[in-house]
Structure 1
Amino acid sequence: MTFGEKLQKLRKEAGLSQEEFADQMGVSRQAVSKWERDSGYPETEKIIRMGRIFHVTLDYLLNEGEGQSEDLAEGKNEEKGMYVSRETADGFLAFRQRKSLRTGLAWGLISGGLCLSIWWTEPGMILYLVLMIVSVVLLFSVKLADNPYRRIEKEPLVFDEQVKADLNAAFSERKKTAYLLRLTGIVLIAAGILICPLITTWVPLVDDIIFAAGLAAAGVGIFLCIYMTGILRAYRLLMRQETE
């Protein structure tokens, strides 16, 4: 059995498409196709990564022939879980960040857009409807978007030591800012919903402006809370599901 035949067999047994496998390897689908047709050969680093992804030994991958069942069995008894490369981890974090950004923007616009209802004029109505349409489009884009990282969210994960250390360092650095911004969001929501409506100047126009500013502040706060929570949750999904 050639290297390409083994690679195709292992990929199919793992339930991966060429696109999904290419994403884990940090290469193009065309490169995977060439490897499986024995029209090209991956670098040593890529072969090592394949062994981790499929839980097989390098001897099994590199030695042609059928008599490798012992090596395969030995490899299968090694680390169990989905191997996550640096490229895959970065891609997952970027995907979750985009998802949280769109969700946060949508709900922030829905909430903050209510400030326009204070002045229910024709321009205000048009702008409010535009904001609602944008919000709905954002929410639908999140709901309908394909998720190429479902396995990361469901399966145990295996990392290289350096990748694991880098992720822990990045999480430690980002969570301080994320917690601070999320706290800021909570303060804005509380001020906008609980405090601003209680402020009275006895001047109707000024009161309306304060109330509208409170709703806008609450919208910003909701955005910050959703966005920062999404970023933190993305890192925790990687950290929590990591196999020891």
Structure 2
Amino acid sequence: MIFGETLYKLRKEKGLSQEAMAEKLNTSRQAISKWENGQGFPETEKLLMISNMFEVSVDYLLKGTSKEQNKNERGHYVSKEMAEGFLMHVNKTTIPFALGISLLILSTIPYLVFKDRPEVYSFLIIIIATLGVLQIVTAVMRTDNSYAVLKQDPLLFDHHYLEALKQRYKEVKKKYTTVATIGIVLIAISFVGFLLESKDISHGVLVPYYPVLVVFIAIGVSLLIPIIMMIESYELLVKNEAHLERLNAKSNKKWKRKWKEWF
């Protein structure tokens, strides 16, 4: 009966009704009532969610021992639904963002093509750049802050789902390698072309092809941005500790630079 009594106590301390708690756990009020009355017991997934919700250890829930979470247990439990929703969300937001960046790059082409007609290239640049900005704004507006917790706390998963996710990550990474290579090659070709002209090595031969080189860069960027963001999203889930360490390292470097600038 320890679990039922503990659950009732924690729920009351948090000021939650059975209905509110059931909604957070994606279960029914009747299930909460049965757990509290000792007539049932939640499965492992729900138990971890309860532990995370009340910020207590699983041992405390089951045995009434120390209320603090153990170091190994501390973290945010991520259900399969939340993880899959996060990956779908990233996919939906990266596409318009990549398109927006590509349009901003392509907005330089009118100047290259209509260099002697400012009234033409100015108008086209404004139109294309505006479309690009709108796409970026669309991506930002689609951002769901409910997934921010995934980048802040260590994550806990169902073991079987995590193993399946790791396998899928390997397959996705392998599939994206070819596409990423194409994007990198296109960008490299363009930069080499611009470099040859800037050093006057090609003697103006490549100048007529500047618009094509810009298109290559735009295509390369539109391929690489979604791939990079999707790979990072998978790594956030399957390599969570390493990912958080990198984020913390970057954050520390950023604050150190600011500190030096200020003082």
| TM-score strictly above 0.5 | yes
**Partner residue of 1:183?**
181
Tell me the residue number matched to 1:106. Answer: 100
Deviation at 1:179, TM superposition (A): 2.4
C-alpha deviation, 1:172, in angstroms: 0.3
5+ residue gaps, structure 1: 61-67
Q: Quote how far apart the aligned CAs of 1:11 are.
A: 7.0
Q: Which residue of 2 aligns with 1:96?
A: 90
2:150 to 143, 149, 152: 152
**When the two structures are superposed, what TM-score results if normalisation uses the length of structure 2?**
0.65
Read off the aligned partner of 2:236 and give its amino acid letter: L
Paired residues of 2:76 and 2:154 also in contact (CA < 8 A): yes
> Alignment length, in residue pairs?
216
- Paired with 1:165 and 1:57, the residues of 2 have a C-alpha distance of 22
Residue of structure 2 equivalent to 1:135: 132
Runs of 4+ in 1 over 6 A off after TM superposition: 1-4, 10-13, 199-202
Distance 2:13 2:99 in 1: 42
Say if 1:12 and 1:215 are closer, same or farther in 2 by CA, change over 3 A.
farther
Note if contact 1:113-1:216 (Cα within 8 Å) is conserved in structure 2: no
Spell out the pairing of 1:184-203 with structure 2 (5 A cutoff).
184-195=182-193
Query: Which residue does the alignment assign to 2:48?
Result: 52
Opposite residue 99 of structure 1, the aligned amino acid is T
Greater mean alpha carbon deviation, residues 211-220 or residues 173-182: 173-182
What is the DSSP-based 3-state SS (H/G/I as helix, E as strand, rest coil) of the residue aligned with 1:231? helix
User: Is residue 100–residue 136 contact of structure 2 (8 Å, CA) maintained in 1?
Assistant: yes
Distance 1:11 1:115 in 2: 59
Shift of 1:170: 0.9
1:79 paired to 2:73: yes
Instruction: Please state how far the C-alpha of 1:180 moved relative to its aligned partner.
Output: 2.1
Supply the distance in 1 between the matched residues of 2:91 and 2:154 (Cα, whole angstroms): 21
Which residues in structure 2 correspond to 1:13-28 (within 5 Å)?
A: 22=24, 27=26
Kept in 2: contact 1:159–1:242 (CA 8 A): no
Alpha-carbon displacement from aligned partner over 1:183-203 (angstroms, at most 9, x marks no partner)? 21111112223227757897x
Identity %: 20
Instruction: State the Cα distance separating 1:50 from its structure 2 match.
Output: 2.1
Amino acid in the other structure paired with 1:175:
K
RMSD (CA atoms)? 4.0
2:101 is aligned with what amino acid? W
**Cα–Cα, structure 1 residues 193 and 184, in superposed 2: closer, same or farther, change >3 Å?**
same
Once residues 45 and 127 of structure 1 are traced to their aligned partners in structure 2, the CA distance between those partners, rounded to angstroms, is 65
